[in-house]
Amino acid sequence: MSETLSINDLHVSVEGKEILRGVNLELRRGETHALMGPNGSGKSTLGFAIMGHPNYEVTSGRITLDGEDLLAMEPHERARAGLFMAFQRPMSIPGVKMADFLRHAVSNVRNPERKEGEDLLPMREFRKELRSKMEQLRMDPEFARRYVNDGFSGGEMKRAEILQLAMLRPKFAVLDETDSGLDVDAVRLASQSIAEIGGREMGILIITHHDKLLEHNPPDVTHVMLGGRIVESGGAELAAELHKSGYDRIRAAHPEAAAAEERLAQEEREAAEQFVS
């Protein structure tokens, strides 16, 4: 049976405000989907909802992994079930070495039944694997001894997320703007890396504004999100078109979604003004 991440009529609110208004998406393992759309259209919200962020309240709809209800799972259970998200803004964990953090994470994900305090992966075996993955990603071995994302440049953080992806080998991964803040060469390297670490064996949802990240990971399907819904889906050519021509055609074709987008943006601005004053 082919493994599938299925999202059905998903509605998500943050602080009582509805951001996603009925998202449908079906991602099979082995497929790459691109998720594009203007800022504030709800792309990251979808990622956080898939991973189970407590502030993202699913008000209706379903997310299932091979038929299993993901919404009933805690975030760590989702990770152990085979989900991963590369964060747009990864968090730093001062004092915790990347290698130690990853060893703990990998031990949990590969042994979903592992209880706190039980043995971690054997050190030697883990180190060997980490070293080889870092070589493959052309990363300085020193990286493993640094504290997780602590004092990392934007580019280093994104590379660290890809390293985590490579080590955790999820069934499904959401890459949330893994290209943002990177220069052209860095994006190309990231794109290549995702392909090299076996992106093709996963189901990948790439959230991006650009087509560069897709260079080595041509999408089987491109989705366009606007105003909290996926309004169009197409092939790789759709991603290329959006990158070239922007979202004007999409807005014109989907006035209801465009209005919702405008409404959300307006609320956002008002909230920001309130915050400032």
Partner 1 sequence: MSSVTAQGGFTSESFAAFLRGRDEPDWALDQRRRAWEHAESLPLPSTADEEWRRTDLRRFHLNRFELPGESDPSPAEPDALLTHGVQLAGRTWAHNSHPLEASLSQKWRDRGVLLTSLDAAIKEHADLVRPHLWRAFDREYDKFAALHAACWSGGTVLYVPAGVEMDEPIHMLSSLGEGGVDLHHTLVILEESAEATVLGETSGDAGAGLHLGGIELLVGPQARLRYVNLQNWGQQVWHFAHQKALVDRDARLQWTIGALGSKLAKVNQHVALTGEHAQAQVNGVMFTEGRQHINYHTHQHHQVPNTTSDLLYKGALQDDSRVVWRGMIKVDPAAQKTSGYQRDDNLILSDRARADSIPGLEIEADDVICTHGATAGRVDDELIFYCRTRGLTRNEAVRTVVAGFFQKVFDRITIESVREALGEAIGRRIREFH
Give the three-state DSSP class for 109.
helix
Q: Residues 119-158: x/- map of binding to partner 1 (CB under 8 A)?
A: ----------------------------x-----------
Binding residue for partner 1 (CB under 8 A) from 30, 101, 156, 212?
A: 101
Read off the tokens for 60.
Answer: 């209706």
Interface size with partner 1, residues (CB under 8 A): 30
Residue 230 and residue 221 in contact, taking contact as beta carbons nearer than 8 Å: no
Out of 37, 42, 90, 227, the only residue in the binding site for partner 1 (CB under 8 A) is 90
DSSP string, 47-67: HHHHHT-TTEEEEEEEEEETT
Per CB under 8 A, the list member of 38, 42, 65, 84 interacting with partner 1 is 84
Distance (Å, whole) CA 189 – CA 23: 31
Span near partner 1 by CB under 8 A; candidates 16-24, 69-77, 118-126, 252-260: 69-77
C-alpha dihedral sign at 45, 50, 54, 56 = positive
* Site for partner 1 contains 116 (CB under 8 A): yes
Q: What is the DSSP letter of 120?
A: P
Minimum gap (Å) between residue 185 Cβ and partner 1: 27
User: What is the C-alpha radius of gyration for the chain, rounded to an integer number of angstroms?
Assistant: 19
DSSP class of residue 7 equals E
Q: Does residue 67 bind partner 1 (CB under 8 A)?
A: no
CA distance 178 to 195: 14
- Give min distance, CB of 94 to partner 1, in A: 5
Answer for which of 17, 62, 76, 263 binds partner 1 (CB under 8 A) is 76
Q: Which residues bind partner 1 (CB under 8 A)?
A: 51-54, 74-76, 78-80, 83-85, 87, 90-91, 93-96, 101, 104-106, 108-109, 116, 147, 164, 168
